[in-house]
Amino acid sequence: MSQFNMHRRSFIRGTSAALALTALRANGMDFFNSPAPRRVALIGTGWYGKSDLFRLIQVAPVEVVALCDVDKHQLEHAAAMVGERQSNKKKPALYNDHQKLLAAHSPDIVLIGTPDHWHALQTIDALKSGSHVYVQKPISVDVMEGEAMVAAARKYNRVVQVGTQRKSTPHLIEARKNIIDTGMLGKVSHVEMCCYYHMRANGNPPVEKVPDFFDYERWTGPAPLREYDGLPHVRWWRTFMEYGNGIMGDMCIHMFDTVRWMLNLGWPERISSTGGIYQDKTGKSNIADTQHAVFEYPGLNCVWQHRSWGTPADPEYPWSFKIYGEKGTLCASTMQYDFIPEGEGKKIHKDVVYEKEKYPEDLKEPEIELNAAPATRLHMLNFLNAIDKGVKPIADIEEGHISTASCIIANVSMKLGRPLRYDPLKREIIGDPEATKLLQRPYRQPWVHPLPGTI
């Protein structure tokens, strides 16, 4: 029996096998066979980069040939963990420069788990080297980066899967199939999305010397170079607009992308947003702690709200979406869903699927999101299936771009104080040259901003 068939048998065995099979088929996927282990590299070996890699190792035969990170300590720690997971116990080659890694190994697959401001350049470089790419969300920090990433994926004919794994979350796949697609909601005319987690890092750490094991210049890359005030890993970098797009770009994209997938929505016709730092102005953080945004479609508004303070509007759904139809409401999150019918119909509840018995190693993995692990495994299988069949994956780069860019445009709307309409064909904000200029951030030299016409 081949190693892959052993993985396959392991995957379909267990109490959640039927649901897993249903989820795969709902994503347009059949089981596939690979002739040899795929050669994989990971760029960005922090928390979620390793998590993505370990989920891939669990579901398919791969050889992790190289890792890249600008933090030597983090890189060496990841190499030790990967060596333990590899069937041959071999540690991968280590790099702090992703271009050197790509030139030396030309991996079949590259996983990108770096901070947002590096996603575009690393994805495009990997595509040019011939690799298929799995890139974390949001795909970019500005709209033109995203346009260039889509152009590169199409030019080099490679599969790019975006880490919006809600589309591969078993209970959400079931909700789409059994609630949305069957018409149980009736006509849908309103959607609410939210995040009320207290996740906005803040404070005033002092400026200090960059440690020898950390290449801060390369970590900063094309972003503005801030004074070094400690390792930026985990939440600290996310609190600055220099590297991302705040809670809107971090959390809204997940919920908005899922809603678009469930309701078959494309680009919004108009986007507006208000907000700012209303509650906690004591620290260095420059991302909004309070924000409201509206993504408008014909006869339908998708409304986002986040507060990184206070209590959630619905304690059962602190990070979630609610789809309102004439016949009922679908409430959904990463942890559960509830269908509430109009009148005296039957309510439906479903909890998240865990796979602790099937993958006991999950329980020993530091900082793992156990609720997200099954979704990421299915997302990886869908990615591999798309590569084998030469088709678009469930979270294709273009869909990731629409969701990412819409969130970015919401931030631009908040900055300018007016609604905006984006034309994806002309790649401009309609009738608004000032807003159009904000679709592309300036890059720090010597890095050069990618554009779709120059890929």
Alpha carbon separation from 152 to 35, 122, 397, 453 (Å, rounded): 27, 12, 10, 10
Give a yes or no: residue 191 inside a domain.
yes
Burial (Cβ within 10 Å: 0-12, 13-18, ≥19) of residue 184: middle
| Chain position carrying tokens 């801060």 | 216
Beta bridge mates, 243: none
Give a yes or no: residue 444 inside a domain.
no
pLDDT tens sequence for the chain (455 residues): 333 333 333 333 333 444 444 445 444 444 445 568 999 999 999 999 999 999 999 999 999 999 999 999 999 999 999 999 988 888 899 999 999 999 999 999 999 999 999 999 999 999 999 999 999 999 999 999 999 999 999 999 999 999 999 999 999 999 999 999 999 999 999 999 999 999 999 999 999 999 999 999 999 999 999 999 999 998 999 999 999 999 999 999 999 999 999 999 999 999 999 999 999 999 999 999 999 999 999 999 999 999 999 999 999 999 999 999 999 999 999 999 999 999 888 999 999 999 999 999 999 999 999 999 999 999 999 999 999 999 999 999 999 999 999 999 999 999 999 999 999 999 999 999 999 999 999 999 999 999 999 99
Say whether both 60 and 156 belong to one domain.
yes
| CA dihedral sign, ordered 115, 260, 262, 396 | negative
Give a yes or no: residue 221 inside a domain.
no
Say whether both 428 and 408 belong to one domain.
yes
Q: Do the Cβ atoms of 284 and 295 come closer than 8 Å?
A: no
List, in sequence order, every beta strand (DSSP E) within 343-398.
Answer: 348-351
Residue type for 51, please? S
Say whether both 26 and 93 belong to one domain.
yes
Residue-by-residue DSSP string for 328-355: EEEEEESSEEEEEESTT---EEEEPP--
Q: How far apart are CA 320 and CA 193, in angstroms?
A: 6
CATH at 269: 3.30.360.10
Question: Which candidate, 57, 58, 61, 77, places its Cα nearest to that of 69?
Answer: 77
Say whether both 120 and 237 belong to one domain.
no
Domain count, the chain: 2
Instruction: Please report the pLDDT score of residue 369 as a whole number.
Output: 95
Say whether both 81 and 142 belong to one domain.
yes
Q: Do the Cβ atoms of 123 and 450 come closer than 8 Å?
A: no
Return the number of other C-beta atoms located less than 10 Å from residue 269's C-beta: 12
Q: What tokens does 304 get?
A: 């986002």
CATH at 371: 3.40.50.720
Instruction: Please report the pLDDT score of residue 324 as a whole number.
Output: 98
Q: What tokens does 239 get?
A: 């609190």
Say whether both 26 and 14 belong to one domain.
yes
Say whether both 189 and 312 belong to one domain.
yes
Give a yes or no: residue 449 inside a domain.
no
Q: How far apart are CA 120 and CA 144, in angstroms?
A: 10
Give a yes or no: residue 351 inside a domain.
yes
Strand, helix or coil for residue 165: helix
Instruction: Please report the pLDDT score of residue 5 as a whole number.
Output: 36
Say whether both 351 and 363 belong to one domain.
no
For strand 188-195 and strand 300-307, is the pairing parallel, antiparallel, or unpaired? parallel
Predicted model pTM: 0.93
What's 177-208 look like in SS3?
Answer: HHHHCCCCCCCEEEEEEEECCCCCCCCCCCCC
| CA dihedral sign, ordered 66, 67, 68, 73 | negative
For strand 428-429 and strand 62-68, is the pairing parallel, antiparallel, or unpaired? unpaired
Torsion (CA) 386, 141, 244, 117 in degrees, nearest 10: 80
Give a yes or no: residue 372 inside a domain.
yes
| Chain position carrying tokens 């892959």 | 4
Say whether both 303 and 362 belong to one domain.
no
Say whether both 289 and 339 belong to one domain.
yes
User: Domain span at residue 59?
Assistant: 3-167+358-396
Strand, helix or coil for residue 250: helix
Q: Do the Cβ atoms of 125 and 119 come closer than 8 Å?
A: no
Q: Do the Cβ atoms of 238 and 97 come closer than 8 Å?
A: no
Give a yes or no: residue 223 inside a domain.
no
Say whether both 99 and 135 belong to one domain.
yes
Residue type for 125, please? D
Per-residue exposure over 291-330, b if at least 16 CB sit within 10 Å of its own CB, e if not: bbbbbbbeebebbbbbbbeeeeeeeebbbbbbbbbeebbb
Q: How far apart are CA 65 and CA 362, in angstroms?
A: 22
Instruction: Please report the pLDDT score of residue 35 as a whole number.
Output: 63
Instruction: Please report the pLDDT score of residue 88 as a whole number.
Output: 82
* N- to C-terminal Cα separation, the chain: 43
Say whether both 162 and 273 belong to one domain.
no
Give a yes or no: residue 260 inside a domain.
yes
